[in-house]
Structure 1
Amino acid sequence: MEKMRAMVLERCGAIETNPLKLTQIDRHEIKRPNEILLKIEACGVCHSQLHGIEGDWQDLGIPPQLPTVPGHEVVGKVIGIGEQVTKFKVGDRAGITPLLEACKECQYCKEGKEYLCESSTITGESFKGGYTEYITVTEDFATKVPEHMKPEYAAPLFCAGITAYKAVKAAEPQTHKKIGIFGIGGVGHMAVQFAKVKDCEVIAFSRSQNHLDVAKRLGADDAIQFSKNQEEFLKKLKEKHGMLDAVIVFAPADIVTDTAIKAVKKGGMIVIATVGENPAFMAFEEKTIRGTLIGSTADMEEVIKICDEKNIEVITETFPLESANEVLKKLKDSSIEARAVLIP
């Protein structure tokens, strides 16, 4: 059996202890007629992966098994195809989202919301993860990436990109014109641009001045420093912009979610894209609170198309596969400007 290099997580632990170990594991091979084999060119590094590796989400059953190879936003070259594959040919570039596979039979799959499938397989929560050199996937759950799109640009689109796109879509930008985006990191910086594509007035919020500068450069109409002094923060926001029509929350802190809800007008929309405590919610204000999760294969195709046509900018820093621990540590310390990408 041929081998491949992989950063393997044997047991959860603080990223400072370097829990990911460079290991030689069996190289993935095509086992089913509808699978393709990718030689990975780039894999984005997602904040949710950090939570999984450090054990923060074990109560949610993440990771579902150990050892595991993390990494769930993957782009590579097709180097092999099963005999029934029609969507790809050898030499194509393709990408995989966190949704590696779904059953195709259940209510969610039939509604075109296969990412909600109860028996789905998640990329990066078994040996099928992106922090390695090869991966297989069935053709229906891979998306074509244009040849001219650089892999380090495309990889973050498969989680950060689709998450940002879907969160903006969930905020109903056609009716909610003044949108606040809380948290301008790997996902938030793309949400700013997707909201601008929809002609929204975008106000970005972050604790980091660096991230606020990024948001402004990418088209945000205003960028305001977040402060835990809620009363003062909301007072300043109202004086400057009035109440917001909608907000999207990417910052994984309960105080941020709570503040975001209070920044929205009555009847407005709150889209929450993080895990946290249930915030206080007043029914009589007629606000809508909505969760959001990646998106469908059709959504993913739309993301690639918009990014290609509108020249959406993806801010990335690239690192070798072996430095995954150090990169995640940088992410934990908020010292990555937007999206880190591992190159095997």
Structure 2
Amino acid sequence: MLMKAWFLTKINNIENNPLELKKVKLRSLNDDEVLIKLKEIGICKIDLNLIEGDAVNFGYPSKKPIIPGHEAIGSVEDIGNKVEEFKKGDLVGISMLYSSCGKCKECLSGNESACKELLITGESIDGCYAEYFIGKSNFIFKIPQEISEKAILTVCNLPLVYKSFKLSLRNLEDKIAIYGLNFFSFLIIQICKFFNVDNEMIVLNEKEERKLNNILKEVNIKKISAINKNYYDGLILFRADDNFYKLVKSVKFKGRIINVTLKSLATSPLLEGKEIISPGIPTKSEIFEIQRSGLLNKITFNKIFYDFENIIKALSDLKMNNEIAKLILKIK
């Protein structure tokens, strides 16, 4: 069977059309694999980072050409001979976790995203920018019908920002700052509200302030020019820019700075007593936690759909950051 898929053939800015649409033959399934017909493919900032070369220093993509994309929802089309937990027609999700060894200390402790043999969907192995996806059955997530409308959030964006939120806190009485207005920060503001955690969204200018006020009510906003030294217990960064050291100064001694970017943040005497943490890839248990929690019911967001063939437009819109919404490729 043939399928259409988008391949990254060269690292380049999205404006230069670095993706190529091809028809390729689907391989046969191994015993532990699941064939999924994709319905919704999430467009994520991490995809854009990969395509434009921001992940090269981390060794990704580890092959070219590669099919990018690491978050999608679809239905099971076929299963391998030893797969028992899925059947044809099941609604399932695909995350960044393609596979791990399952035997090392990290895997056995539920921290498979730290496995040395970890394969990342769309970065070290072909991903979801395609009509079909073949995945390992123990890394595919069954989607309960009651969360199907919000399912695309559960495989990447929400587990990642929820993990970042938890890492930023030592206790629920902490006050945290959020920097970098995008869909991730939009979600984390709602998480703070759900857990009644004091927070401020730091914006660059009035334009960002207006944009945020248009989509969220009762949000605490502070301009970068007005932040105080030693004020926040934690800081979550969704943007790394020239304001970094000013933001660091706003964090208290022993405060935590969560770096949800692919930028390496240089050490400095300014960081003395303050800890920089990267959240890493959400684990299977963290994804299941999001599916089962009451948090998902309280999250509101808009979806913007694009035809599968309009992927360059979708990624360009994501880069422009004009809409704080979940951008999704829809396969008919």
Cα deviation, 1:285-338, whole Å, max 9, x if unaligned, reads 532222211211010011122366533123321111111111111222222323
State the match for 1:103 in structure 2. 101
State the match for 1:244 in structure 2. 232
**Cα pair distance change 1:294/1:191, threshold 3 Å:** farther
State the match for 2:68 in structure 1. 70
Output the amino acid matched with 2:233.
D
State the match for 1:209 in structure 2. 209
State the match for 1:195 in structure 2. 192
| Between 292-301 and 84-93, the greater mean CA deviation after superposition | 84-93
Output the amino acid matched with 2:30.
K
Give yes or no for contact 2:169–2:233 (8 Å, CA) kept in 1.
no
Give yes or no for contact 1:272–1:292 (8 Å, CA) kept in 2.
yes
Aligned pair count reads 328
**Cα pair distance change 1:197/1:308, threshold 3 Å:** closer
TM-score of the two chains, using structure 1 as the length reference: 0.87
The percentage of counterpart residues that share the same residue type is 28
State the match for 2:145 in structure 1. 147
How far off is 1:163 after superposition? 0.9
User: Aligned partners of 1:284 and 1:125: how far apart in 2?
Assistant: 31
Q: In structure 1, list runs of 5 or more residues that go unmatched.
A: 227-232
1:91-170 equivalent positions in 2, closer than 5 A: 91-125=89-123, 128-150=126-148, 153-170=150-167
For the pair 1:291 / 2:278, whether they are aligned, the reply is: yes
State the match for 1:343 in structure 2. 330
3-state SS of paired residue (1:21):
strand
For the pair 1:333 / 2:320, whether they are aligned, the reply is: yes
Give yes or no for contact 2:60–2:124 (8 Å, CA) kept in 1.
no
User: Aligned partners of 2:98 and 2:210: how far apart in 1?
Assistant: 34
Output the amino acid matched with 1:273.
V
Output the amino acid matched with 1:187.
F
**Cα pair distance change 1:102/1:310, threshold 3 Å:** same
| Between 255-264 and 128-137, the greater mean CA deviation after superposition | 255-264
| Between 161-170 and 76-85, the greater mean CA deviation after superposition | 76-85
Cα deviation, 1:177-217, whole Å, max 9, x if unaligned, reads 21111123122211122222222012112342354226743
For the pair 1:313 / 2:311, whether they are aligned, the reply is: no
For the pair 1:172 / 2:165, whether they are aligned, the reply is: no
State the match for 2:24 in structure 1. 25
State the match for 1:81 in structure 2. 79
Give yes or no for contact 1:176–1:245 (8 Å, CA) kept in 2.
no
3-state SS of paired residue (2:145):
coil
User: Aligned partners of 1:148 and 1:21: how far apart in 2?
Assistant: 36
3-state SS of paired residue (2:293):
helix
How far off is 1:256 after superposition? 4.0
User: Aligned partners of 1:214 and 1:6: how far apart in 2?
Assistant: 36
How far off is 1:113 after superposition? 0.9
For the pair 1:323 / 2:310, whether they are aligned, the reply is: yes
3-state SS of paired residue (1:266):
strand
User: Aligned partners of 1:332 and 1:137: how far apart in 2?
Assistant: 28
3-state SS of paired residue (1:254):
coil
TM-score of the two chains, using structure 2 as the length reference: 0.90
- Which of 242, 257, 263 is the aligned partner of 1:276? 263
**Cα pair distance change 1:280/1:9, threshold 3 Å:** closer
Give yes or no for contact 2:36–2:74 (8 Å, CA) kept in 1.
yes
3-state SS of paired residue (1:255):
coil
How far off is 1:225 after superposition? 3.7
**Cα pair distance change 1:333/1:37, threshold 3 Å:** same
Output the amino acid matched with 2:50.
G
How far off is 1:27 after superposition? 2.4
How big is the alpha-carbon RMSD for the aligned residues of Structure 1 and Structure 2? Answer: 2.4
